[in-house]
């Protein structure tokens, strides 16, 4: 445990860890979003405000994709709600990892902190959980999130104006980084049950997708997470029986 570090140093470490790759990777993904949003017919402020207020990349892509094809308002809202349902679980799990209850924050401060909870930040928390004490982890999260958010916003705005900034054969390499980076973090999650859940979810979802489309994330998550819990329980029972 790193006790001797000051708040500034920890926040700076978070910012540096973000800049080292994840923030730049997310910025490039948002570059793609900005370009798609312009093609779909959004103006600059609509595009910027969507990233600012939704801050959940897969939902945003689904949203502008449907908007471009002229889908009904109902379908768009359902698609975004469905794609971002995981936010609820990530916020519960993130509050638990950050021990948010112990921090003496007002409700609005907590709402503000959780607005930035998205896949990249959450996976980083899961990865860094045991490196810092709860108080330090929140400081780390703030430094990390601020940089990721700024890069995401900058990427969105740049993507809107310069969708041909990067040639396609470079862009596809850059876009590969975000899913790769986060899957690697998940493979190294601190607890075995969570690694197992990630494995189950990843293995199931492409097949469920063929049958259930957008619902597959939810279904694969529920089955994968529940199965992982059962496996862990069964192993504990076995260990007890053997003793």
Using rule CB under 8 A, residue 157 touches another protein? no
| Residue 142 binds to another protein (criterion: CB under 8 A) | no
The DSSP symbol for 213 reads G
Q: How big is the chain, counted in residues?
A: 243
Cα separation, 114 vs 213, in Å, equals 28
Residue 175 interacts with another protein (CB under 8 A): yes or no: yes
Q: Does 194 bind another protein (CB under 8 A)?
A: yes
Query: Which range of residues in 7-15, 109-117, 142-150, 152-160 is near another protein by CB under 8 A?
Result: 109-117
Decide: is 5 part of the binding site for another protein (CB under 8 A). no
SS3 118: coil
Residue of 55, 140, 149, 160 interacting with another protein (CB under 8 A)? 55
Q: Give the nearest distance from C-beta 48 to another protein in angstroms.
A: 10
Q: Which one-letter DSSP state was computed for residue 89?
A: H
If you write DSSP's letter for every residue of 152-167 in order, what string do you get? Answer: HHHHHHHHHH-TTSS-
Whole-number Å distance between alpha carbons of 30 and 156: 5
Residue 90 as a binder of another protein (CB under 8 A): the answer is yes
Among 123, 137, 148, 151, binds another protein (CB under 8 A): 123
State whether residue 145 is helix, strand or coil: helix
Residue 84 engages another protein in binding (rule: CB under 8 A): yes
* 16 touching another protein, by CB under 8 A: no
The verdict on 140 binding another protein (CB under 8 A) reads no
Q: How far, in Å, CA of 198 to CA of 189, rounded?
A: 9
């Amino acid at each position: 445990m790193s006790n001797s570090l000051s708040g500034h140093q920890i926040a700076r470490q978070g910012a540096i860890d973000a800049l080292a790759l994840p923030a730049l990777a997310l910025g490039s993904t948002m570059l793609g979003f900005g370009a798609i949003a312009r093609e779909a017919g959004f103006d600059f402020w609509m595009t910027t405000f969507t990233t600012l207020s939704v801050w959940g990349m897969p939902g945003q892509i689904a949203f502008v994709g449907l908007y471009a094809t002229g889908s009904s308002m109902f379908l768009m809202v359902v698609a975004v709600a469905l794609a971002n349902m995981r936010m609820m679980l990530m916020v519960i799990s993130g509050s638990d990892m950050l021990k948010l209850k112990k921090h003496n924050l007002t409700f609005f401060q907590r709402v503000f902190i959780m607005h930035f909870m998205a896949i990249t930040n959450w996976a980083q928390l899961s990865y860094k959980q045991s490196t810092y004490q709860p108080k330090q982890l929140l400081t780390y999260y703030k430094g990390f999130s601020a940089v990721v958010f700024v890069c995401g916003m900058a990427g969105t705005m740049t993507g809107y104006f310069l969708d041909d900034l990067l040639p396609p054969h470079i862009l596809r390499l850059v876009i590969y980084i975000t899913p790769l980076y986060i899957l690697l973090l998940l493979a190294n999650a601190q607890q075995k049950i969570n690694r197992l859940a990630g494995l189950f979810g990843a293995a199931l979802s492409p097949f469920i997708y063929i049958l259930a489309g957008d619902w597959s994330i939810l279904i694969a998550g529920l089955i994968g997470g529940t199965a992982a819990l059962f496996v862990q329980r069964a192993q504990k029972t076995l260990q007890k029986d053997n003793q």
